[in-house]
Amino acid sequence: MNNDALLEVDNLHVSFSTYGGEVKAVRGVSLRLHRGETLAIVGESGCGKSVTARSIMRLLPKNNSRITEGSIRFNGRELTRLSEKQMRDVRGSDIAIIFQDAMTALNPTMMIGEQLMEGVIRHQRLSRTEARKRAVEMLQFVGIRDPELRLKQHLHQFSGGMRQRIMIAMAAICSPAVLIADEPTTALDVTIQAQILDLFRMLQRTTQASLIMITHDLGVVASIADRVNVMYAGQVVESAPVKELFRNPQHPYTRGLLDSIPRLDRPRGAKLDAIPGTPPDLFAPPKGCAFAARCPHAMEVCGLFPPDSVKLDGEHTVACWLQDARARTMPPQGPAQVETASASQG
């Protein structure tokens, strides 16, 4: 299975330098994306999912961020070692990204057509006439009527859902092998969300593109993903096929997430389960499991050593001491040390 992976990220570490010190936003993320597959990356705000996505395209600002470790291979090509110029040929052509808020992610003073066309002109050396034809096709494809007329319009003349459709058309216009969608439905209301998800499905059926869907919405995950990576504090804590994940979540954080979805079949007035506490400080990440301080099942060992990824059956992996037989045989440590470890997380 591993050898036909289109995109492979291994042990990726990304740091930001700030006035307060170095923030380790991504700490050893690995992921695999196969052809035509949809991988969802879920997690709460600040867990590093967007940073992971931007690292893949090397879009992070050069002046304050750095990939400190790890590799990103696309089609066997190591992206972390490409020059900025070589990377420009990859961006938009092989890997394209769809941002959350099309209102701010599209240029307000440029005609929509111009913004759609410049990518194909750049990457596929099309003439303006050909590029315009392609842009019209793409607008039609994403369901925008009167594409010829719409090309000459500006951002403010479109509704929120249409803007996101344009954003998608723009990302897909060069037929990239990998599409990264960074919370593409978060800024939209629910009915439009459903339409946009349908559009993603249709896009995948026709182009066979692989999709990385970044979201914090488990509903989106359930409706579109083939596989899910759950991220917490800059690490992937659990990875599984979507059905397996919802049916058989193994990491306490994943379970916490699933339990905190409001459900209509609960009795009225029942309290919504939430995960207590807050994510750890990434200026000084805890030395053990990052979730230990909030975990209802935390053991001594959790505060002391980071858990390894454990392979369960099939493609289900989880990074949790509860799944690791060695947890029982770990050398006993003084309880004082455990306390200092968890205290430093608060």
Q: How far is the CB of 99 from another protein (least distance, A)?
A: 6
Q: How far is the CB of 248 from another protein (least distance, A)?
A: 36
> CB–CB of 239/297 below 8 Å?
no
Within 10 angstroms of residue 68's Cβ, the number of other Cβ atoms is: 13
> CB–CB of 322/330 below 8 Å?
no
Contacts for 97 with CB less than 8 Å, ≥ 6 apart: 53, 54, 57, 59, 171, 179, 180, 181, 182
Cα three-residue angle 170-173-174, rounded to 5 degrees: 125
With H, G, I as helix, E, B as strand and everything else as coil, classify residue 130: helix
In order, the DSSP letters of 313-343 are STT-EEE-GGG-GGGGGSPP--HHHHHHHHH
Identity of the residue, 170 or 228, whose beta carbon is nearer to another protein in the bound complex: 170
Identity of the residue, 97 or 293, whose beta carbon is nearer to another protein in the bound complex: 97
Q: How far is the CB of 49 from another protein (least distance, A)?
A: 16
Identity of the residue, 97 or 188, whose beta carbon is nearer to another protein in the bound complex: 97
Q: How far is the CB of 155 from another protein (least distance, A)?
A: 8
Q: How far is the CB of 100 from another protein (least distance, A)?
A: 9
Q: How far is the CB of 77 from another protein (least distance, A)?
A: 15
Identity of the residue, 88 or 255, whose beta carbon is nearer to another protein in the bound complex: 88
> CB–CB of 26/18 below 8 Å?
no
Identity of the residue, 115 or 317, whose beta carbon is nearer to another protein in the bound complex: 115
Identity of the residue, 29 or 57, whose beta carbon is nearer to another protein in the bound complex: 57
Identity of the residue, 49 or 123, whose beta carbon is nearer to another protein in the bound complex: 123
Q: How far is the CB of 178 from another protein (least distance, A)?
A: 12
Q: Which residues would be at the binding site for another protein (CB under 8 A)?
A: 57, 59, 88-93, 96-97, 99, 101, 104-110, 114, 118-119, 122-123, 154, 156, 170
Closest CA relative to residue 151, chosen from 174, 172, 179, 128: 128
- Distance, CA of 24 to CA of 234 (rounded, Å): 8
Residues in the chain: 346
